[in-house]
A = this chain, B = another copy of it.
Amino acid sequence: MPDDDRKRRILDAALELADERGLAGVTMRALAQKLGVTAMALYPHIGDKEGLFDGLVDRMLAEMLPAVPTDGTAEERLLAVGRAARELSRRHPSAYALLLARPAVTPDAVRLVDAIYGALLDLGVPDAEVPRVERLITTFALGYAASEASGRFSAGTINPRGRRAQFPADEVSAHRRLSEVLDRMPDWDAEYEADLQDLLLMVRARWS
């Protein structure tokens, strides 16, 4: 099918555009220009703009899939998926938000979920609980990477001391107690690894 090829080239260009100029920079006109065509020529291939964004979700999941190993222990495979999710957000920080905003139904999406199901089954999670735990873990992984990419976590860089100072002494007492910790800049790589380990520990503590 040659039209699938055309669609894939459009999605590649759209992802590149998102990487260069942000998601707001992905306009039909700018995308068309990048491909040397008019905006209206895109519609037969991708549908409307919602269709384009759905396509970007599929495109990103497809890019993630090769990083998912088929051998190794269940824990190693689960860690690999978690790391791949975050690495994807590093390559496509702007488009990444789409992953939390719309369902993915592509064959590659099913393969990705299947790899996680398989690892959870191997870890001893009962059949009835596997889909729930898969959603728990992927929600965390996507949410964490999206939060990093969007800047949700970096509000603290605007001077945590100043933030505490605007409160009377009897408020935000936990912030006061943690002041030394909060003045340190977190190591996000290490934090994400620790989170994945804690989630694995949760699975082990519950079912093995």
| Interface residue ranges, A against B (CB under 8 Å) | 97, 100-105, 107, 109-111, 113-115, 117-118, 121, 127-128, 130-133, 135-136, 139-140, 142-144, 146-147, 150-155, 158, 163-164, 166-167, 171-175, 177-178, 180-182, 186, 191, 194-195, 198-199, 201-202, 205-206
Contact partners of A182 in chain B: CB under 8 A:
131
Number of copies: 2
User: Can you list 29 pairs linking A and B with CB atoms under 8 Å apart?
Assistant: A97-B101, A100-B152, A102-B151, A102-B152, A103-B152, A104-B155, A105-B155, A105-B163, A110-B164, A111-B171, A113-B175, A114-B174, A114-B175, A117-B174, A117-B178, A121-B178, A127-B177, A128-B181, A130-B181, A133-B198, A135-B191, A136-B144, A136-B195, A140-B140, A140-B143, A142-B143, A199-B202, A201-B206, A205-B205
CA distance A142 to B103 in the complex (A): 17
Cross-interface CB contact of A155 among B103, B115, B121, cutoff 8 Å:
B103
Closest to A115 in B: B174
Top-10 shortest CB links A-B: A143-B143, A103-B155, A117-B174, A202-B202, A205-B205, A118-B174, A139-B143, A114-B172, A101-B150, A140-B140
